[in-house]
Each structure stands twice: as structure tokens, then as C-alpha cells.
């Protein structure tokens, strides 16, 4: 019995020796609580006519009432705690799902960015190729014009209907052909 603590306490004007596994301080606190309940009963107007036995029963009833209310409150708090734990679990689960979805979206975004880079490179290459083709085309046109001038052919301006000699719609070859026909006759 050396594990038990011993304390002398004063309850209702009498000294009691209590034994328990709790500390002496705790046992004194319990005795103080009982004394408070005794003072509550003795402080009421109806308690002066009551016997000590009836006063004890009233104290016991009040303690039992407080016990059951505290027990109900503890049960409610325990249920509330379980609800909060479930809510916390659900929130953690949602967070994990959101993180996984975010990672998937990040991977998808990276793939899109890579594809965008490839397309930008292809676009730049196509622009370069188009510029090169345009330059070649201009060079070919320039060479064709130069070659046409060197060959002595005349350019007919369709929009104005005038040849290089200023004759409307007739080129020099046609004029020469007409002159040559008149000479041969």
C-alpha cells in the first residue's frame, strides 16, 4: 500500500483521512469541492429545517446531477471531436487530391510549353524559309526583266494598253510586220 497517498482533509467541520493514488493536493481539492456543495445547501433557506441526512442526500443529488451533465458534455465534446477529426481527414484527402491534380496540370502545362517551344522554332524556320523564297523570287523576277530587256523584247503594259513605243495596243513587231508586208507587194 505504499503506492497510495494519504491526506487529512476537513469536510463539513470534521477531519477525515483519505487514501488514494492521486496526489495529496488533488485530495484536498476534492474535499474543498465537497465543502462548497455543503455550504450551498446550508446557505439555502429551506435547509435550516432539514436533518443532516437529508442535507447529505441533497448534496449527493446535486453531485450526481453535475456528474451526469458533465458526462453528457464530455460525450458531446467527444462526438464533436470525432466530427472534427473526420472533417480534418476529408480536408487532408481533398488536399492530397488537389496536389495530385495540380501536379498533373503542371505536367500537362510543361508538355504544352515544350510543344509551344517546338512550334515557335518551326515557325521561325518557316518564316526564314519564306523570306528566302521571297528574295529568290525577287531575284528571279529581276533577272527575267533584265533578260527581257537584253533580248529586245518589249513589255506590254496591260493596265494602260500602251507598248514601250507609246503605240496603243500594238507592239513594234506588229508594226514591223505590217511595214514588211507593204514592201513585199
Quote the CA–CA distance of 149 and 147 in Å, as a whole number: 5
DSSP 62: H
What does pLDDT average to in each consecutive run of 10 residues of the chain (185 residues)? 83 92 94 92 78 87 95 97 96 94 91 93 94 92 86 53 51 51 51
pTM of this prediction?
Answer: 0.47
Quote the CA–CA distance of 28 and 14 in Å, as a whole number: 14
pLDDT at 46: 73
Residues 6+ apart with CB under 8 A from 55: 38, 41, 42, 47
pLDDT at 56: 87
Amino acid at each position: 500500500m505504499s503506492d497510495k497517498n494519504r491526506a487529512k482533509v476537513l469536510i463539513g467541520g470534521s477531519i477525515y483521512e483519505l487514501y488514494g493514488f492521486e496526489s495529496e493536493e488533488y485530495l484536498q481539492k476534492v474535499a474543498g469541492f465537497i465543502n462548497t456543495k455543503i455550504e450551498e445547501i446550508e446557505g439555502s433557506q429551506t435547509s435550516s429545517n432539514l436533518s443532516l441526512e437529508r442535507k447529505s442526500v441533497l448534496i449527493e443529488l446535486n453531485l450526481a446531477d453535475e456528474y451526469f451533465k458533465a458526462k453528457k458534455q464530455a460525450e458531446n465534446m467527444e462526438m464533436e471531436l470525432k466530427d472534427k477529426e473526420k472533417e480534418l481527414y476529408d480536408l487532408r484527402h481533398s488536399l492530397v487530391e488537389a496536389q495530385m491534380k495540380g501536379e498533373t496540370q503542371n505536367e500537362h502545362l510543361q508538355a504544352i510549353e515544350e510543344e509551344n517551344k517546338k512550334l515557335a522554332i518551326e515557325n521561325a524556320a518557316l518564316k526564314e524559309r519564306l523570306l528566302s523564297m521571297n528574295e529568290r523570287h525577287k531575284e528571279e523576277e529581276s533577272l527575267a526583266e533584265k533578260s527581257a530587256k537584253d533580248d529586245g523584247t518589249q513589255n506590254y503594259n496591260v493596265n494602260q494598253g500602251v507598248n514601250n513605243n507609246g503605240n496603243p495596243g500594238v507592239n513594234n513587231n506588229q508594226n514591223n510586220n505590217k511595214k514588211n508586208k507593204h514592201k513585199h507587194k
